[in-house]
Structure 1
Amino acid sequence: MSDAAAGPREWVPSPWIRRLTLAGFSLFVLLAAGSVQLSSMVGEAAGSLPPTPDVATLPVSAAVTDRNGQLLRAFTTRDGRWRLPVDRETVDPRYLDMLIAYEDRGFAGHHGIAWSSMARAAGQFVGAGGRVVSGGSTLTMQVARLVEGQPTRNLWGKLRQMVHADRLEQDLTKDEIIDLYLTLAPFGGNIEGVRAASLAYFGKEPGRLTTAEAALLVALPQSPEARRPDRDPEAARRSRDMVLDRLVAMGALPAEEALAAKDDPVPLVRREFPMFAPHLAEQAVKAQPEKREVALTIDRRLQEALERLAAGRARIVDPKVSIAIVAADIGTGDILASVGSAGLFATQSAGYVDMTTAIRSPGSTLKPLIYGLAFELGLAHPESLIEDRPTAFGAYVPVNFDGFSRGTVTIHDALTESLNIPAVVVLDAVGPARLVSRLRRAHADPRLPVNTAPSLAVGLGGVGITLRDLVATYAAIGNGGEPVTLHDGIVPAPEAGLAAPVLDPVAAWYVADILADVPPPLNGSPGRIAYKTGTSYGYRDAWAIGFDGKTVVGVWVGRPDGEPVPGLSGIVGAAPILFEAFDRLGDRRAPLPRAPSGAIIASNSELPTPLRRFRHPDEDMVARDAAPEIAYPGDGVDVDLGLATGFASPLMVKVRNGVPPFTYFANGAPIGRPDFARQNLWDPDGPGYVTLSVVDAAGRGDTVTVFLN
């Protein structure tokens, strides 16, 4: 681009005089050059101009921003250019002042053409024997060239540019012309517009620029390829300093400020554009392809922190392991962070897969809702006693994660220790269909096998669910039982209305109060948050979901392809990440809510008699005086203990029902009588058939015959 006119405000001719002068001036220049042609007529130039662009509909890169307007991710235009939406209100006024002072001091007063500059350019053209020395281009003329995308280093191009500038001044305001320049100006490579240039070269939005940065952005469009700082930093520095010197000479910049700016280094590399919440951003653009800018509910600061956390933790665990994190505001449902994977380009862990919406087994994470339903139905209190002992429900025989039973425990302890058997007993009482229904009230979408009804297996992970679903469920618990509609800004948030509660306020508080007592991982402190972990069958999914008084966070760890990860568990793999995520919330932390009216805070002995012990509505199924049964091994099975190898394992005999203590027998000989345990280890002498028997304290017994090898 050429140098601009300088000097005081000049006389502006009326429109009809301006057109006559333009035609006459053009004819004069052409005659002086000895090359008059019909094609140079002003009428022909005006008749072939493109439509005046509307900056509001100009094709630009789709931009996805966070709740504060900060850029999360941008996408190139269809022709592969970075041209981000921008206007003068979002650009540093220092840059705008320097741009106008350097390029076109008379911009505010002229109507597209600086006549004194054009006269000077014409004289130079004639004096140089028909060679263009300087173009005298105004900012409006430069916009005309950018709109057409045609070169102007020839007479016809310059004439056309002048005619086009006159048209732009008629059709647009000065502010609209500036906005077009800010959007279309070239800055090297596929970078167009000052916003894209500021992000590419300085790594920041153009709202606040240093003097040196502003000067470089003024200089680059004049020769964008030759002055690219990532290609020729010395040329970029010289052009920047030239702008600074000229501004000083014009009195538009203090000399000392320019001198200090010259000491600033020029950028040496072109930076990557931001790519935060990449999965969500892509969904946003696909959902609203017509929008130039989509604002999400994401908090970029938190999103960036949690993405770094996920990537760092995944590197420690296994390169094939991915991590997903969702954080949401309990009060509004705004999703504040959505980390879909440990890295979009992490090929070994399929980073392109958004695991926040992947359907997985939830493990034990639904237990809090199970107990919440029992509290709501008046079947139990956190201090109610319940039996943790092997219990069969037809062919379904749940066992605890560690294989051991604790006997009589409180429901508080059953939940904090995540015992499986009490949870299934309670689920059988409240009904798995009711559990699934309450999940749906929480705006979750549990997936059951086709054409099957909810079963007791749902309570221990026998259902498909997403991380977002679990976060919504726990948000409801943290919200006093009221459902929370999670939303991210891709579609408008639904209007608030009457909705069925997930739990009543007292039941929700009981659950939250118990979860606040769950022992934290090694990097956590007790009582900070209410949380629960879960591990799906086969060590395929590790979960940790928790909340405080303001925010709910969910973490998933595993392999996207569903393969097992030996040793992976919620408390080891996901809980530490959950606590670190809460550490990154900053001022969003809030204490857990206080007990609502109606909550009973009492020890077991102080409870009303019906609440002192959990009683299943069908006591015959789980009656404490039912005869004992050998739960393992089953009658007639073969048990491989490795007896033929010389490195045999002991046989574990497990009992359900009955009254402890139990006496265990092998082929009629006693092999153990633990006080209250419902299992006993025995080392057999060798392979072969063996008859195992057990007798409880009431003298009732059971017998099975198995083959050991």
Structure 2
Amino acid sequence: MTRASTTFAASEKEDVDGRVKPGHDGRRKRRLLRIAAVAALGALLTIGAFAAWVISLGPLPFEQARQISTTIVDRNGKLLRAYAMADGRWRLPVNARTGVDPSYLKLLLAYEDRRFYSHHGVDPQALGRAAWQLVTSGRIVSGGSTITMQLARLMEPRRERSLSAKLRQMVRAIQIERQLTKDQILDLYLALAPFGGNLEGIRAASIAYFGKEPKRLSLAEAAVLVALPQSPETRRLDRHPEVARIARDRVLDRMVEDGLVPTEDAVQAKAVSVPRLRKPMPILAPHSADQALSTVKDSPVIKLTLESGLQKVLEALARDRAIALGSNISVAIVAVDNESGDVLAHVGSPDYFDDRRAGQVDMTRAVRSPGSTLKPFIYGLAFEDGFVHPESLIDDRPIRFGSYAPENFDMTFQGTVPVRKALQLSLNVPAIALLDRVGSSRLSSRLKQAGANLVLPKDEAPGLAMGLGGVGVTLQDLVQLYSGLARLGNTRPLREIVRATDDARDNLRLMDPVAAWQVGNVLIGTPPPENAAHNRIAFKTGTSYGYRDAWSVGFDGRLTIGVWVGRPDGAPVPGLVGRTAAAPILFDAFARTGKLPAALAKPPKGTLVASNAKLPLPLRRFRPVGELVRTGTEQAPRIQFPLNGSRIDVDRGNGGQFSAMPVKIAGGVLPLTMLVNGVSVGEIDSRRQRLVEPPGPGFARLTVIDAVGAADTVVIRIQ
């Protein structure tokens, strides 16, 4: 044996099972293990670096992406006005399921992301198809981006187009899919997608290009809106309409190839021309919108009680009538739902952008002289006090109250007339005579109690002149007061902004139900303007001193509408009269609601409806305070029992009825008439006492009137 063979034999090793394994195989294994370890380390380092890069991207900028234009919507969610974002962009909130035409969504997903609802942010099939098209054609045919990847790019816009940018989009898309539902992703994409210029989102584009919400789109419109986001600046309809048309037709051809759109429909859609101009964003109820924006902070969507349809027709009415009345004349209209107190229409001026008419000044909130429009409340308190009835007779003749001598508008006098006619004709002398009896301070306090903010001249107390307009009031406050007549004596504070935490609004007392019904029953008989139907709307007109303000406020069983006409600067307008300037607008406003006038409320139980001859003697004729002539030691009547403000405990009989309550009177000229809550319960004999049936638990007003019209009233609480 040679030396070499001996060495080889010595180097051989036997393993446990007797097989021989060469030594260089062990070294190979160790080398492979080292390579595998290095590869694993490299992979770990790569994964770690990738993870670190992903972490370095930071959280997704959802807060910034969800910023939208502040929008003002009506009670049904319809857009009234939107405000551009701070940088001038229009970006409106959208709900894909309820606010977008399904046919548009069908085209969008078919064209941009067929498997949107099945992938998790990245579509491998779309990426593979895009890569194959790039290799085979030498150009980019389709990008392979999903809707989610496009959303990621919109949330973090970058100019460069590179593999790293695409990788970033893919990572962000996966992150988005893990945090949002598919519907949320689609909503956010439809709000951010660019459509040229400062238009972002499907709603802004649809409104600007087609003048409508995207709820109902034609096939041609839907195809245009699918094509625009791919190249929004080069396909802008207002700058490059022909390029936009070609892109639209390409979308339609693709949908025909895929079998989603019939060929005939595509041909018809291609025949439709594309819009070439942008339309302005809607601006309905601009004064209400401005007020809401300044009142409600940090809310992207503010809901108002207005009805957009009614608002639109009344704005058109105000604009048309203002043009007919003169270049400097303004018109304001407020419409209110009687039951809820919700403002359904608010027209602050005929044209928000007309400087000649001071269009941005909200004349529904301006304090102006109301003329004769407060007269119905004077009569209402007189009815409530029980010393006059709509069928009572009252004198319209020259009279002086100290240094004040009221005159009628036409400088004539009607003589003796029924109270009903005196109010319908808006006679001044009877109204001031009744106010003298009711008390100016009482009228003022009652109207303020009902929610009206009356503005008196500086350092002046309420006086008789307020009955003819010597006080300041707003159209909104007047409408609130008149709605109280329709509600039989109680008002509700007007509401225009819908809040999630709206507090319950308490009813405010204006007058007794019987008195309020009587006022409405009188006003519905007021002669209407020419060509208007009679006995449909209870209304009153007013003209301020110097022809500065013309008013008309009316109500039916459903709505109360108020109209003001005048110059915003308060300058006189010769010939401006409520009956000829404001009343026709009022009746036209009711006609434009599209509904027949609703009937007024029925008379409350116990309302005295009688002719003058059948009224109690003291109610047949009203005499001013100065005519309450007495002889000898006769004194005005006074209720001795019960006392004003007292609480009276009344027993219930076996049938559950309250037992009669004694009433005692002192003074007064016989016969004396007793009224409970404005309803006559009969006369009081010479003993000056009577048993009266209580009206029920709660407050009751007891009034006694003597033969010459003097009266006394107490308010008690029955329990």
**Fold shared, TM-score > 0.5 on shorter chain:** yes
| Counterpart in the other structure of 1:61 | 69
Asked whether the equivalents of residues 549 and 593 of structure 1 are also in contact (C-alpha less than 8 Å), the reply is yes
Determine what percentage of the aligned residue pairs are the same residue. 54
Asked whether the equivalents of residues 42 and 163 of structure 1 are also in contact (C-alpha less than 8 Å), the reply is no
Of 237, 248, 255, 2:256 maps to 248
Deviations 1:602-651 (A, max 9, x none): 2222211100111234536999xxxxxxxxxxxxxxxxxxxxxxxxxxxx
Moved more, 307-316 or 50-59: 50-59
Distance 1:204 1:508 in 2: 45
Q: 1:450 to 1:525 in 2, by over 3 A?
A: same
Which amino acid is the alignment partner of residue 344 of structure 1? Y
Q: Does 1:505 align with 2:505?
A: no
Of 185, 204, 222, 1:214 maps to 222
Which amino acid is the alignment partner of residue 567 of structure 2? R
Which amino acid is the alignment partner of residue 105 of structure 2? L
Distance 1:195 1:311 in 2: 28
| Counterpart in the other structure of 1:474 | 482
Distance 2:627 2:86 in 1: 68
Distance 2:209 2:224 in 1: 10
Q: 1:50 to 1:81 in 2, by over 3 A?
A: farther
Q: 1:548 to 1:420 in 2, by over 3 A?
A: same
CA RMSD of aligned residues (A): 2.5
Asked whether the equivalents of residues 45 and 163 of structure 1 are also in contact (C-alpha less than 8 Å), the reply is no
Distance 1:518 1:56 in 2: 59
Q: 1:383 to 1:262 in 2, by over 3 A?
A: same
Tell me by how many angstroms 1:66 deviates. 0.9
| Counterpart in the other structure of 1:205 | 213
Q: Highest CA radius of gyration, 1 or 2?
A: 2
Asked whether the equivalents of residues 565 and 581 of structure 2 are also in contact (C-alpha less than 8 Å), the reply is yes
Tell me by how many angstroms 1:507 deviates. 0.9
Asked whether the equivalents of residues 536 and 597 of structure 2 are also in contact (C-alpha less than 8 Å), the reply is no
Asked whether the equivalents of residues 50 and 148 of structure 1 are also in contact (C-alpha less than 8 Å), the reply is no
Tell me by how many angstroms 1:555 deviates. 0.0
Tell me by how many angstroms 1:178 deviates. 1.0
| Counterpart in the other structure of 1:548 | 556
| Counterpart in the other structure of 1:117 | 126
Distance 2:624 2:78 in 1: 55
Q: Does 1:92 align with 2:101?
A: yes
Asked whether the equivalents of residues 45 and 160 of structure 1 are also in contact (C-alpha less than 8 Å), the reply is no
Distance 1:500 1:526 in 2: 31
Distance 1:49 1:494 in 2: 46
| Counterpart in the other structure of 1:265 | 273
Tell me by how many angstroms 1:43 deviates. 4.8
Tell me by how many angstroms 1:323 deviates. 0.4
Tell me by how many angstroms 1:187 deviates. 0.6
Distance 2:239 2:266 in 1: 24
Q: How does 1:116-515 map to 2 (within 5 A)?
A: 116-122=125-131, 134-489=142-497, 493-497=502-506, 499-515=507-523
Asked whether the equivalents of residues 550 and 588 of structure 1 are also in contact (C-alpha less than 8 Å), the reply is no
Asked whether the equivalents of residues 132 and 153 of structure 1 are also in contact (C-alpha less than 8 Å), the reply is no
Tell me by how many angstroms 1:295 deviates. 1.3
Q: What secondary structure is seen at the aligned counterpart in 2 of 1:471?
A: helix
Q: What secondary structure is seen at the aligned counterpart in 2 of 1:532?
A: strand
Asked whether the equivalents of residues 330 and 479 of structure 1 are also in contact (C-alpha less than 8 Å), the reply is yes
Distance 1:198 1:315 in 2: 32
Distance 1:332 1:581 in 2: 20
| Counterpart in the other structure of 1:76 | 84
Which amino acid is the alignment partner of residue 410 of structure 1? P
Distance 2:259 2:629 in 1: 94
What 5-or-longer segments of structure 1 have no aligned partner? 1-23, 28-37, 624-709
Tell me by how many angstroms 1:252 deviates. 2.4
Asked whether the equivalents of residues 383 and 411 of structure 1 are also in contact (C-alpha less than 8 Å), the reply is yes
| Counterpart in the other structure of 2:595 | 587
Which amino acid is the alignment partner of residue 590 of structure 1? A
Distance 2:630 2:156 in 1: 83
Asked whether the equivalents of residues 443 and 485 of structure 1 are also in contact (C-alpha less than 8 Å), the reply is yes
| Counterpart in the other structure of 1:652 | none
Which amino acid is the alignment partner of residue 311 of structure 1? R
Of 510, 528, 533, 1:525 maps to 533
Deviations 1:93-125 (A, max 9, x none): 221121111101121222222223324444566
The TM-score, its normalising length taken from structure 2, stands at 0.78
Distance 1:146 1:428 in 2: 72
Tell me by how many angstroms 1:79 deviates. 0.9
Asked whether the equivalents of residues 521 and 575 of structure 1 are also in contact (C-alpha less than 8 Å), the reply is yes
The TM-score, its normalising length taken from structure 1, stands at 0.79
Q: 1:586 to 1:565 in 2, by over 3 A?
A: same
Distance 1:124 1:595 in 2: 83
Tell me by how many angstroms 1:303 deviates. 0.4
Deviations 1:67-94 (A, max 9, x none): 1111111111111111001121221222
Distance 1:236 1:560 in 2: 47
Distance 1:298 1:621 in 2: 55
Q: What secondary structure is seen at the aligned counterpart in 1 of 2:509?
A: coil
Which amino acid is the alignment partner of residue 600 of structure 1? L
Distance 1:149 1:251 in 2: 34
Tell me by how many angstroms 1:287 deviates. 1.4
Asked whether the equivalents of residues 493 and 505 of structure 2 are also in contact (C-alpha less than 8 Å), the reply is no
Aligned length: 585
Asked whether the equivalents of residues 545 and 553 of structure 1 are also in contact (C-alpha less than 8 Å), the reply is yes
Q: What secondary structure is seen at the aligned counterpart in 1 of 2:572?
A: coil
Distance 1:453 1:416 in 2: 28
Distance 1:454 1:146 in 2: 64
Q: What secondary structure is seen at the aligned counterpart in 2 of 1:546?
A: strand
Q: 1:154 to 1:133 in 2, by over 3 A?
A: farther
Distance 1:254 1:582 in 2: 48
Moved more, 187-196 or 41-50: 41-50
Q: 1:579 to 1:84 in 2, by over 3 A?
A: same
